[in-house]
Amino acid sequence: MNTPRDRARPLRIIVIGGGVGGLSLAQGLRRAGVDDVVVYERDDSPRGRMQGYRLRISPEGERALRECLPHRAQDLLTATSNVRHEQGLAAYDERLTPQWAPEFDDSRGDAPDKVDAVDRVTLRRILLAGLDGVVRFGERFTHFERAGGKVVAHFAGGGSDTGDVLVAADGANSQVRAQSRPAYRALDLGVRAILSRTPRAGAIEAGLPEVLRDRFVNVTGSNGLRLALMPMVFRTPPRKAAERLWPGLEFDETEDYYMSVFSVHRDVLRLPDSAFFAMTGEELRDLVLERTTDWHPDLRGVFAHAEAAETYPLALRVTTPVEPWEPGDVIPLGDAAHTMPPTGGVGANTALRDAASLCRALASVTRGERSLPDAVAEYQREMVKYATEATEMSLKIAKWSMRKIDLTEGNLPRT
Ligand SMILES: Cc1cc2nc3c(=O)[nH]c(=O)nc-3n(C[C@H](O)[C@H](O)[C@H](O)COP(=O)(O)OP(=O)(O)OC[C@H]3O[C@@H](n4cnc5c(N)ncnc54)[C@H](O)[C@@H]3O)c2cc1C
């Protein structure tokens, strides 16, 4: 009789995209003893495009991270995570009058080592730790083809690699998805956002009131503008934490900050996309100041001190409904499978969940417990369920915060 050991199938796994999901998958596979994995990332180095914003980590996201990461990296993650503060969201109008706000459940309660938010750049460094030789930087995936029962990935520099499995972890504008599911494009919600970062010390000096300092704050302006303000206060600065927990692992000097996201509907913004997306950090900061002249001065002080180099324009998009891909050797993960607006703070958490789940699925194939199509089909069945819930929740909050979003079927353009 054929035992799982007889059916064991070594897999060469090619991951496109070294973001939150792709790197977690690589970590998880290595932890599970699946060593033939390589990650191709278009950024030239781990520093990449430094979008130093913070990420909220949900209970599901934390569980997945802990499942994928070795213990030392988990300790570093906890040590560099956000100092825990009050739960939930505080809502105000632009004159700082308190408003009603939805509540978030957190099944972790007050666990002392819970990780409820991290700095994205710090997380990426932690996810890269120990993956020397696994991640190839400066490799932009262009297309794949099938040859001899294998999948061949091609890169802009002319190189290629052949594997048994190709994982599309290349984010919201996935090139793998563009080839394998060209019609499955994201819908443009019509919301334009300005993402920026203000050093905590600067914001406090500028008069940020005590009551707003340590909370996730949402401000609704009567002029159709929304502000989400989130603190990132490191329990231990990453460099210091690494000296203790992982000597030799390098981190940049980092300071505590507030991440702010201004959002406004395109109809209210009244700027063509070509102009909005061409704006520099300084111009975007000035735009926010110009549109908030009647806002409380203590709030305006926060973005007057925003770092121009860390200020970016953004469009809110969604892929809905979430659909499985053909269960085979090209497998979607994270934003490539399900792009959702950042309003729910769950996009990365869903990508992490995918990583842990796909890791289990692929490891079971290498042990001969299941066939690849069966394992991938089951991974996607689960993924579609929880990613649909996450997408719907994110859309609900987006709609709550921006009533102009028109979710009527067929009304949103695909981009
Ligand atoms: C402002 C903002 C705030 C957010 N806040 C939260 C939050 O608080 N919590 C949360 O859970 N989520 C949040 N999200 C969502 C989260 O950032 C994404 O859902 C998450 O990063 C998706 O992970 P991913 O691995 O699928 O893709 P990514 O993290 O985007 O990684 C994709 C990687 O693929 C690489 N890549 C792309 N194309 C190619 C190519 N052709 N070849 C090679 N490499 C390629 C990219 O360089 C990138 O490194 C936020 C998003 C935004 C914009």
Over residues 144-172, the pLDDT tens digits come to 999 999 999 999 999 999 999 999 999 99
Would the CB of 42 count as within 6 Å of ligand 1?
Answer: yes
Residue nearest to atom 3 of ligand 1 (CA): 342
270 confidence band (pLDDT: 50, 70, 90):
very high
- Mean pLDDT value of segment 275-300: 93
Ligand 1 atom closest to Cα of residue 141 = 42
Ligand 1 atom closest to Cα of residue 56 = 8
Residue 50: what pLDDT? 56
354 confidence band (pLDDT: 50, 70, 90):
very high
- Mean pLDDT value of segment 129-135: 95
Would the CB of 171 count as within 6 Å of ligand 1?
Answer: yes
106 confidence band (pLDDT: 50, 70, 90):
confident
Would the CB of 348 count as within 6 Å of ligand 1?
Answer: yes
Contacts (Cβ under 8 Å, ≥6 apart) of 155:
40, 139, 140, 141, 142, 161
Residue nearest to atom 48 of ligand 1 (CA): 19
- Mean pLDDT value of segment 342-370: 96
Residue 156: what pLDDT? 98
pLDDT at 401 over 60: yes
Residue 86: what pLDDT? 61
| 22 vs 332: CA distance, rounded Å | 10
The pLDDT tens digits for 216-255 are 898 989 878 899 999 999 999 999 999 999 999 999 888 9
Q: How far does the centroid of ligand 1 lie from the alpha carbon of residue 296, in Å?
A: 33
Using an 8 Å Cβ cutoff, are 160 and 143 in contact? no
pLDDT at 52 over 70: no
Tell me the two tokens of residue 293.
């002249």
Pocket test for ligand 1, best of 20, 131, 232, 343 (most atoms within 8 A of CB): 20
**Averaged pLDDT of the chain:** 91
Residue nearest to atom 35 of ligand 1 (CA): 17
For residue 359, which of 6, 2, 11 has the smallest C-alpha distance?
11
**Signed CA dihedral, 64, 187, 177, 132: sign only:** negative
113 confidence band (pLDDT: 50, 70, 90):
confident
Residue 212: what pLDDT? 85
- Mean pLDDT value of segment 23-34: 97
* High-pLDDT (> 90) share of the chain, %: 73
Strand pairing partners for 331? 167
Q: How buried is 311 (Cβ within 10 angstroms: 0-12 exposed, 13-18 middle, 19+ buried)?
A: buried
Residue 51: what pLDDT? 61
Ligand 1 atom closest to Cα of residue 346 = 11
Residue 87: what pLDDT? 60
Domains belonging to the chain, first-starting first, are 4-401 (3.50.50.60)
Prior bond to 321 cis, omega within 30? Answer: yes
Using an 8 Å Cβ cutoff, are 79 and 242 in contact? no
Alpha carbon distance, N-terminus to C-terminus of the chain: 52
Return the residue matching tokens 């009527």.
Answer: 408
Residue 195: what pLDDT? 94
Ligand 1 atom closest to Cα of residue 20 = 25
Ligand 1 atom closest to Cα of residue 22 = 25
SS3 sequence, the chain? CCCHHHHCCCCCEEEECCCHHHHHHHHHHHHCCCCCEEEECCCCCCCCCCCCCEEECCHHHHHHHHHHCCHHHHHHHHHHCECCCCCCEEEEECCCCEECCCCCCCCCCCCCCCCCEEEHHHHHHHHHCCCCCCEECCCCEEEEEEECCEEEEEECCCCEEEECEEEECCCCCCHHHHHHCCCCCCEEEEEEEEEEEEEHHHHHHCCCCHHHHCCEEEEECCCCEEEEEEEECECCCHHHHHHHHCCCCCCCCCCCEEEEEEEEEHHHHCCCHHHHCCCCHHHHHHHHHHHCCCCCHHHHHHHHCCCHHHCEEEEEEECCCCCCCCCCCEEECHHHCCCCCHHHCCHHHHHHHHHHHHHHHHHHHHCCCCCHHHHHHHHHHHHHHHHHHHHHHHHHHHHHHCCCCCCCCCCCCEC
Q: How far does the centroid of ligand 1 lie from the alpha carbon of residue 336, in Å?
A: 9
Return the higher-pLDDT residue of 150 and 185.
150
Strand pairing partners for 188? 317
Using an 8 Å Cβ cutoff, are 40 and 153 in contact? yes
Residue 2: what pLDDT? 66
Q: Please provide residue 23's backbone torsions phi and psi, each rounded to the nearest 5 degrees.
A: -70, -35
Ligand 1 atom closest to Cα of residue 175 = 41
- Mean pLDDT value of segment 326-335: 96
Would the CB of 21 count as within 6 Å of ligand 1?
Answer: yes
